[in-house]
Structure 1
């Protein structure tokens, strides 16, 4: 805030009451108010409020229209108690969420600071001075020694007649909302990371278990081939091929163990623990099934996606900063007053204590500042355009994310169904080949081919089931839900959410 010059003619009126001082200022304030009011009208007409102009479709192209909104606690639709517990633990202990919450505290404090400029500032001051001239008694009559002691209250206020301070407060409020949406975005990211790593862990363990079972069967085949080789019913080439298949199956297990360990470590860190405690994370034994996801409507999607909500709040802030910058062209009115008591001693003579009152007013307006005001407005205008483009891009990308997730899930579900049928056929073929080989009706090669086919199909089927679970998580993430379940009670800025502009 500008400091009031102490030499203004209005700064002291000895023997007058504060009311008389106020009357002396009345004409100045009226003139300033008139000028600032005109400035406010001009400011309101000169600045535009930017809003996204993105046409929203009635429904998603990759899915039939659905009036039902997605489940809020979407992780519970997988019906896995371990996953549900991990998500809830992460929402309370995750460090990234706590870091984002601190950013909200900072933004709210900034909002309080910006809003405080709308109100008068009141302070208390105390002062004292002792001046000795060193002259003789005769000369001190013209240049006396003085000793002054006093205390009082100081009041200063900038009247926001151009709307500059209100625009700054509105911008800070919108930035606080963007920070809150940032926390929601981190929550959504953490819960989707928990689910993705959990299903990656489940898939790796399932693949390793399948490989161990198949490896055991191939070891048994190798044992039989060796037995037949010893009695001359199989060649050395048959033994080598059986050894190759058995070793190849075993070689695929260590990478899956590594993937399972890495997934456990990531989950442990996400829930606020450390990697060396990851062994305590044990998935459920049952098979998780990808649920049918309710998609909702594109318009409601934008009300759930925290990243879109944050971009819209940042656009609100940019609109307010644009108004704040436009107000820099117009006058600013400052008022100040002091009231208190002071004691004066003159050449050792105590004159006693007296009440004092100082009232001041300042009207300031830029005339020449080497283009600084114009540059401030250009910065704000560019920031507004950037925020508008970011908001429109965020809306388009959100719709793209959902469309991609829907297509991916639909195609993967068809692949899983085909692989399930192929798995059943491969198991039947292997059983038939084993029976023929045991009776000596076929040699080893068809049996090994049947085993390889079963191994490949079962691994692909397991992989498809895991991908389908991961695709479901990605779809829920794209739809933007879940953070509402862990929303804190109403915050100081929550009441303004209803005032947000439409996203459509």
Structure 2
């Protein structure tokens, strides 16, 4: 075998995936999560109930709003575009380890203006240049691993955007329904107070009550009317927020809201008793942090490989024709590029890559801690709201009974107007507290869903090259 053939054989063997590894294989860290949740887990069941969780609300309007938001929202479109960019980077990284072929051609007409006339001539040429970097030290492989991990992190961004968007839409929808119930409560009190004002004015004009009683009745009525206006403003602001989240026309959105259930939606149950604490790793932000960590680790390998020589195979074939003469030349052989002196630049780059990895590791640990904290807090708030709701309902029922008795007593002259209005304020405050607690309890369910990361792994990230068509077709989880 000739020396050239032996060299080609050796270089081809070097190109096989047996290149030496400059850093150990990446090992994903184990999330530092507790063995069990410290806060109480509500209800009973298993993790399968996390799947299709939004369907447990049994609210067609909420489902429509969730689908509208996912169908067309800038945050999802931005995340999907970032995925396409990251996947293109993977292709680019892989291409660096494959043979490249470049062709060029020219057709040049030339002549000389010397004393001895030379006829014009045409020179035609064509050439093919080939190159192939032999990935001996894994520079291409590490770059590809980094690009792959970054792409997976961008997919996590898309899933995170979906979970956050769904939670935000549901929270605003629940707040709107609660707001409408509060408006209804104030309207009912306004009707009652209007009747009180009419009766008080009649008694005052007849001389049975002091003028101050009429002033107090009118002042209370005006105060309730102002509160009602402020409450209606809050509802309108929530509608504006839903318009921005869903992209729906406000007129169409209001019609949809008015045709739906007026009650505050609530899930039939969110069974998480059997969910292990380590399941926190399904959260998109935790997954993103881990994939970012993997990319930083691969970057260490790339930086280390840059400190070693690069070996490439180069080849060229050129054909030239001028007039009736033609010639063909070719060349082929290895090319070795080795860093001899760079004043420590490549070593510093490798050290910087390690420092970035340490930063990514710290970020990952902090993300896991924050995820555990958020989940524990959501569990505590949910348990607290559940316990307080029953007491609040008992208080509201008794305050309402006391108000009814007080109204009868006031009409018979056994109670002054100030005491009656005090009883009225206590009753409406108790009613509003029940509505608020019910709203908060449902929002705590939503926060817990978000804290567990939803079921984001069940839906693939968009794969099309256009807009977020995959996200538009995906159903809410």
TM-score (norm 2): 0.87
Match of 1:439 in 2: 412
Moved more, 286-295 or 107-116: 286-295
- Residues of 2 paired with 1:210 and 1:276: CA distance? 25
- Residues of 1 paired with 2:248 and 2:341: CA distance? 60
Match of 1:390 in 2: 363
1:373 to 340, 346, 352: 346
**What's the offset of the Cα at 1:153?**
2.5
Match of 2:278 in 1: 299
Is it true that 1:322 corresponds to 2:304 in the alignment?
Answer: no
Shift in CA distance, 81/384, structure 1 to aligned 2, threshold 3 Å = same
Shift in CA distance, 42/460, structure 1 to aligned 2, threshold 3 Å = closer
Match of 1:90 in 2: 69
For the aligned residues, what is the CA RMSD? 3.0
Q: SS of 1:232's equivalent?
A: coil
Match of 1:237 in 2: 212
The residue correspondences of 1:15-94 to structure 2 (distance < 5 A) are 23-24=3-4, 26-27=6-7, 30=10, 41=20, 43-44=22-23, 49=26, 51-52=28-29, 54-64=31-41, 68-69=46-47, 70-94=49-73
Cα shift readout 1:81-120 (whole Å, capped 9, x = no counterpart): 1001110111111121111111111111111111111100
Match of 1:495 in 2: none
Moved more, 261-270 or 335-344: 335-344
- Residues of 1 paired with 2:402 and 2:145: CA distance? 71
**What's the offset of the Cα at 1:288?**
2.4
Is it true that 1:311 corresponds to 2:284 in the alignment?
Answer: no
Match of 2:473 in 1: none
Cα shift readout 1:176-235 (whole Å, capped 9, x = no counterpart): 111111111111111111011111111111111100101110111121111222222221
Q: SS of 2:223's equivalent?
A: helix
**What's the offset of the Cα at 1:278?**
4.7
Shift in CA distance, 151/329, structure 1 to aligned 2, threshold 3 Å = same
Cα shift readout 1:217-275 (whole Å, capped 9, x = no counterpart): 01111211112222222212222222222222111112211211111111112112355
CA contact (8 A) 1:52 1:392 kept: no
Q: SS of 1:329's equivalent?
A: coil
Q: SS of 2:341's equivalent?
A: coil
**What's the offset of the Cα at 1:435?**
2.1
- Residues of 2 paired with 1:210 and 1:178: CA distance? 47
- Residues of 1 paired with 2:51 and 2:284: CA distance? 14
Is it true that 1:358 corresponds to 2:331 in the alignment?
Answer: yes
Moved more, 321-330 or 61-70: 61-70
CA contact (8 A) 1:78 1:288 kept: yes
- Residues of 1 paired with 2:458 and 2:187: CA distance? 40
What are the ranges of 5 or more consecutive residues in structure 1 without an aligned counterpart?
1-18, 493-504
CA contact (8 A) 2:142 2:298 kept: yes
CA contact (8 A) 1:290 1:468 kept: no
1:286 to 263, 266, 274: 263
**What's the offset of the Cα at 1:150?**
2.5
What are the ranges of 5 or more consecutive residues in structure 2 without an aligned counterpart?
466-477
- Residues of 2 paired with 1:188 and 1:159: CA distance? 44
Shift in CA distance, 342/147, structure 1 to aligned 2, threshold 3 Å = same
Match of 2:173 in 1: 198
- Residues of 1 paired with 2:451 and 2:176: CA distance? 22
The residue correspondences of 1:88-237 to structure 2 (distance < 5 A) are 88-127=67-106, 148-237=123-212
- Residues of 1 paired with 2:289 and 2:45: CA distance? 26
Match of 1:479 in 2: 452
CA contact (8 A) 1:75 1:195 kept: no
1:424 to 374, 383, 397: 397
Match of 2:424 in 1: 451
**What's the offset of the Cα at 1:129?**
5.8
Match of 2:471 in 1: none
| Paired residue total | 456
Structure of higher CA gyration radius: 1
**What's the offset of the Cα at 1:484?**
4.8
